[in-house]
Amino acid sequence: MNSYPWPNGARSVMFLSVNFDAETFDLKETPPNRLYGRFGYGRYGVRAGFPRLVALLEKHSIPATFFVSASDARRHPDLIRTLVDKGHEIGARGIDLEDFSKLGDSEPKVLKESREILADVCGKAPVGFRAPDGSMSVNTVRHLAELGYEYDASFQDSDFPYCIEPVPGKTLIEVPATYALDDGPIYSARHTHARVMTVFRDEISAMREEGTLIPLTLHLRGDFGSTRGARIVALDELLTQVKAHGDVHFMNGAAIAAHARSLGLTPEPDPAAAHLATLAKSVYRGDLAVKPK
């Protein structure tokens, strides 16, 4: 078991986050007048999936973090305010689920505007950010720190939260995730909910044994999300089993980041710094399955 000091005697901590990703995701591929047929999975999430998932979180008294694009927040302000009223955290996800690795000089403006829109909808500015598909530029974490974000949840490079200092005197906590506990890739491959839960159980069991962070990432959508009826039932059973251990605590991203800060962790340098020379000569593909030429 790892000796990372989790609060209140916890053996490990589960960070249950939800990528809201409603119509904004579908609009990346189709015009608005086609969202009502085969491209309606985002609408399904907010119409049918949302109440199921919110009820499940309430049943288990789990504080979740919902990462929401500003466009989806504008379309569904009542749903976002419902989440806030129920004690859930709202994190940022850009305006239209942008690829932040390609925004160039407009990146700071998009990050700032998306934060302001969420602040207007929620009544307070978000402190956490997650990049769509984990796509970030070498400047993203610096912009986040300059804007006053407390943490990022886009990387997959550690089992525990850690601290980085992308700007002198300004730090950012990284709350890492893992594809192994992300429902999107597995449901996208058309695996059954039974198969998904088998993978989740194995991963969670190993993480609990080692005392690591357990970052469970869900999607609200009806296609590669967890809000269909059978999938909610399966998720309910999984969470019941996790809670039965009694030593896995649930914390949202802001609470995890605050705890990490309280530990006085030594800040690491900006992770991009060591690769700037290489990136100046090579185009970053962002896809490990594609061999560089």
Pairing of strands 128-129, 151-152: parallel
CA separation for the pair 225, 147 (Å, rounded): 31
Per the structure block, which two tokens stand in for 69?
Answer: 């694009």
Q: Is 97 helix (H, G, I), strand (E, B) or coil?
A: coil
Classify domain 9-279 at the CATH class level.
Answer: alpha beta
CA separation for the pair 291, 254 (Å, rounded): 37
Q: What pLDDT score was predicted for residue 57?
A: 98
What mean pLDDT, rounded, does the chain reach?
93
- Which residues, at least 6 apart from 287, have a Cβ–Cβ distance to it below 8 Å? none
Q: What pLDDT score was predicted for residue 283?
A: 63
pLDDT at 290 exceeding the cut of 60: no
Q: What pLDDT score was predicted for residue 229?
A: 97
* 213 strand-pairing partners: 13
pLDDT tens-digit readout, 21-59 = 999 999 988 887 777 777 789 999 999 999 999 999 999
Q: In 3D, which of 27, 26, 38, 49 has the Cα closest to residue 231?
A: 49
CA separation for the pair 27, 36 (Å, rounded): 12
pLDDT classification of 292: cutoffs 50, 70, 90 = very low
The domain segmentation of the chain, as residue ranges, is: 9-279
Burial of 60 (0-12, 13-18, 19+ CB in 10 A): middle
Mean pLDDT to the nearest integer, 125-139: 96
Maximum pairwise Cα distance, the chain:
54
pLDDT tens-digit readout, 182-203 = 999 999 899 999 999 999 999 9
Whole-prediction pTM? 0.93
